[in-house]
Structure 1
Amino acid sequence: MVEHSSGTNLSYRGDIVGMEGGTSLQDDSKYYDDDGRVKRTGTIWTTCSHIITAVIGSGVLSLAWSIAQMGWVAGPGAMIFFSIITLYTSSFLADCYRCGDTEFGKRNYTFMDAVSNILGGPSVKICGIVQYLNLFGSAIGYNIAAAMSMMEIKKSLCVHTSDGKDACHISGNPYMIAFGVAQLFLSQIPDFHNMWWLSIVAAVMSFFYSTIALALGISKVAENGTVMGSLTGVSVGTVTPAQKVWGVFQGLGNIAFAYSYSFVLLEIQDTIKSPPSEGKAMKIAAKISIAVTTTFYLLCGCMGYAAFGGNAPGNLLAGFGVSKAYWVVDAANAAIVIHLFGAYQVYAQPPICFRRERGSKKMAQNWQRIQS
């Protein structure tokens, strides 16, 4: 808090610059939003890139296996069902960005702000634990997935260089460490407002490797000369009844996880400029993003199942790893790594910002003690 020469007290909080009397430091509203923060510049398209980066992960490559567990009817049906549920819940969450008035109410900058202002009480701690465990787990998963893709590239090059004579045992530890070190630098990005470029690059990469997987699936179907798979998926007899049930539930879990981005929805929405209202823009972006991702999911999952049938691998690219087109698979794995750099940051931003804010408050309190 500092005192202006005119006697008016001004408050500074991060990117917030405003007057206690409620008027903006700048009369021109093109510099500041209604809450005193620097004008948000996000559009429907940057919002779509954030959502697609968060939603389309390397998990898209496991969808062929998931469909194989359920078959041609239940598999695609489950994808469409979860896409509708995701769109429905996204609409509700988008309306939680502002309290009361959907255009001029108090903003909830984060998922936890919404929980605190709308639910309050014990729900804050419970939802906070669930959110950060989910985000923390996703970040660990992305680290492992990126390391595995880098290992596949190294192994592929090793096998083809040695003409298959070398067993090419690759350790993942150096790659996980390298990915973690890179994230230390990327985590210096202040917030979602400043990482739009990374999300766009990551979204493009997700389309790139998904398209490669789709193209390889089509070529495999053409090579087989028939469409593999059945209406009910892996049959009992090939697996035990218990394995069939477990496989179906695991496949449903994979599909449900493939649509998970609710924990960062409000953080993404806080980047959108207005007018139109942030809620309207977010709903449009969610419709576009979910439609695009569902289309890619159906294409990749169904084509992978058509190519391999009940033998669809857990990672679709693994089915083509020893083919003549190994360099195409390597390019897809490289795209996965680049995409996961952005996806990691999308999921890591909320806990990073939380720790940054807590650290800033602690430093401010210590500074006040020193001055007093």
Structure 2
Amino acid sequence: MAVLPLNDSSSFDDDGHPKRTGTLWTASAHIITTVIGSGVLSLAWAIAQLGWIVGPSVMLLFAFIGHYTSCLLADCYRSGDPLTGKRNPTYMHAVRSLLGEAHMVACGVMQNINLMGITIGYQIASSISMMAIKRSNCFHSSGGKNPCHISSNPFMMSFGVVEIILSQIPNFDQIWWLSTLAAIMSFTYSFIGLSLGIAKVAESGRFKGTISGVSVGSISKTEKKLRSFQALGDIAFAYSFAIVLIEIQDTIKCPPSEAKTMKKATRFSIILTTLFYILCGCSGYAAFGNNAPGNLLTGFGFYNPFWLIDIANVAIVVHLVGAYQVLSQPIFAFVEKKAAQAWPESPFITKEYKLSISSSHSYNINLFRLIWRSLFVCFTTTIAMLIPFFNDIVGIIGALQFWPLTVYFPIQMYIVQKKIRQWSVKWICVQTMSMGCLLVSLAAAVGSISGVMLDLKVYKPFKTMY
């Protein structure tokens, strides 16, 4: 650890890092930006597969598990004393500190794959929303005579160009404003989706849907099981923020304890988002019943008032632009740190060039950051264009990240951190919960992968029009 001059101590934290300034509200904004994302759009479809009783119950269960394991994870930010212990600035640092090098490597691979997968899912969702705006306007201008088939590729590429520009923001601390804007946008489209669902129920005068959801007969028994499994993955995806929780916590100022602030932010964010999820998912299911669309707002696309749907889809795009950055920053930081350690003398890796925009504004440009981050965005854009299946991709990502990153690692780290005795009542309870969540993840993965296989039979990459 670097020894800092005494007169600089007020500007730096105990690890030599510039003073962290994050608060309960900035941490909550980061979490809400990450949690209330494209996952909310598939919840009506997920409830339709599970029915009125199981659907909302599963959402509450996932919320409880997410909150519980996030609180365990928050206690692992510092090793030892919660106020003065060594900081673990990333998820991987925490895993290495408490579980060892082998676990850290496994965690790093899974975390980065999942973060990349979520950014791909966000690109797919944003392109669907942009297409919905275009098709809605086309449909209404033609009076319904034009089928308005559109390719998603130009919209994905446009999203990629914007992300290449924003990806040059150096680190997490400097994107608080983007997270705040994205959080506001997430509430905007959630409220619109909720309002439209309520309005449609009021118009029809009845709640649609059934106790068991989509029934066998309209689909086969096998398809019913696979859809139900996929629905579990979709709901798990809707709570996928544990993989950046430590990174968010590393922005919080101390005192008070970062863990206390993070637990409050987690509790506030999960209660708020779960309320939105249940309202949006249930209102969508009540409005459409077992025919609920895979993407709630784009499913509304050809209904009036079409201008309100356009506003909601614009809000989705703006939100996902910010969420993409929140989730890609840990990948950027990991690669850039490894490159700097491997080639510390390379000007290409370490040198910053000052770019003057005006007499009062200038920005630092790093060549490695410029090229590597641009290539990352191009890669995720290409993958999104190859497999633009929103529901299936959401389910796969949710399945892959839920057990290992949201449940397994937080529980194992907490056991080591708090020295919980093996075979004690608490040890048995948390390990039983972990095994149950593993079975849920495996089932969700099977359902979602089968959905992708079915979609690939009829999809032509880069050519299919919607």
Distance in 2 separating the partners of 1:205 and 1:366: 41
Distance in 1 separating the partners of 2:5 and 2:309: 54
2:47 pairs, out of 55, 67, 81, with: 67
The residue that corresponds to 1:283 in the other structure is 263
Cα contact 1:40–1:271 (8 A) shared by 2 = yes
Alpha-carbon distance, 1:157 to partner: 1.4
Alpha-carbon distance, 1:26 to partner: 4.1
2:313 aligned with 1:313, yes or no?
Answer: no
Letter in 1 for 2:82: T
Distance in 2 separating the partners of 1:121 and 1:31: 32
The residue that corresponds to 2:175 in the other structure is 195
Letter in 2 for 1:59: G
Alpha-carbon distance, 1:167 to partner: 2.6
Cα contact 1:26–1:32 (8 A) shared by 2 = no
Q: Deviations over 1:264-303 (max 9, x none)?
A: 0000000000111000000000000000000000000111
Cα contact 1:159–1:168 (8 A) shared by 2 = yes
The residue that corresponds to 1:226 in the other structure is 206
The residue that corresponds to 2:123 in the other structure is 143
The residue that corresponds to 1:117 in the other structure is 97
1:163 pairs, out of 143, 162, 166, with: 143
1:91 pairs, out of 61, 67, 71, with: 71
Letter in 1 for 2:278: L
Distance in 2 separating the partners of 1:354 and 1:293: 29
Alpha-carbon distance, 1:251 to partner: 1.0
State how 1:17-96 maps to structure 2 within 5 Å: 20=2, 22=3, 24-27=4-7, 29-96=9-76
TM-score by length of 2: 0.72
Distance in 1 separating the partners of 2:126 and 2:276: 21
1:241 pairs, out of 215, 218, 221, with: 221
Letter in 2 for 1:27: N
State how 1:269-280 maps to structure 2 within 5 Å: 269-280=249-260
Alpha-carbon distance, 1:27 to partner: 3.2
Distance in 2 separating the partners of 1:223 and 1:319: 17
Distance in 1 separating the partners of 2:298 and 2:172: 33
Distance in 2 separating the partners of 1:168 and 1:320: 15
Cα contact 2:92–2:108 (8 A) shared by 1 = yes
State how 1:327-366 maps to structure 2 within 5 Å: 327-366=307-346
Alpha-carbon distance, 1:363 to partner: 4.3
Cα contact 2:35–2:241 (8 A) shared by 1 = yes
2:129 aligned with 1:154, yes or no?
Answer: no
The residue that corresponds to 1:325 in the other structure is 305
Alpha-carbon distance, 1:134 to partner: 0.3
TM-score by length of 1: 0.90
What SS does structure 1 have at the residue aligned with 2:10? coil
Choose 350-359 or 37-46, whichever is displaced more: 350-359
Distance in 1 separating the partners of 2:123 and 2:278: 26
Q: Deviations over 1:201-230 (max 9, x none)?
A: 001100000100000000100111111112
What SS does structure 1 have at the residue aligned with 2:344? helix
2:170 aligned with 1:213, yes or no?
Answer: no
Distance in 2 separating the partners of 1:301 and 1:355: 37
2:214 aligned with 1:268, yes or no?
Answer: no
Alpha-carbon distance, 1:319 to partner: 3.4
Q: Deviations over 1:19-49 (max 9, x none)?
A: x4x3x32436432111121110000000000
Distance in 1 separating the partners of 2:186 and 2:246: 22
Letter in 2 for 1:50: H
1:184 pairs, out of 142, 156, 164, with: 164
Give 5+ residue unaligned stretches, structure 2.
348-466
Give 5+ residue unaligned stretches, structure 1.
1-17, 368-372
Letter in 1 for 2:133: I
Distance in 1 separating the partners of 2:220 and 2:159: 39
What SS does structure 2 have at the residue aligned with 1:134? helix
Instruction: Work out the number of aligned pairs and report it.
Output: 347
The residue that corresponds to 1:6 in the other structure is none
CA RMSD of aligned residues (A): 1.4
Q: Deviations over 1:301-346 (max 9, x none)?
A: 1111111111111111233222221111111111000000111011
Choose 325-334 or 349-358, whichever is displaced more: 349-358
What SS does structure 2 have at the residue aligned with 1:122? helix
1:121–1:364: structure 2 CA closer, same or farther, 3 Å change rule?
A: closer
The residue that corresponds to 1:174 in the other structure is 154
Bigger relative contact order (CA 8 A; separation at least 6): 1
Alpha-carbon distance, 1:247 to partner: 1.6
What SS does structure 2 have at the residue aligned with 1:195? helix
1:363–1:122: structure 2 CA closer, same or farther, 3 Å change rule?
A: closer
Percentage of pairs with the same residue: 56
The residue that corresponds to 1:304 in the other structure is 284
Alpha-carbon distance, 1:188 to partner: 1.3
Q: Deviations over 1:183-214 (max 9, x none)?
A: 11111112111111100100110000010000
What SS does structure 2 have at the residue aligned with 1:146? helix
Distance in 2 separating the partners of 1:39 and 1:123: 30
What SS does structure 1 have at the residue aligned with 2:7? coil
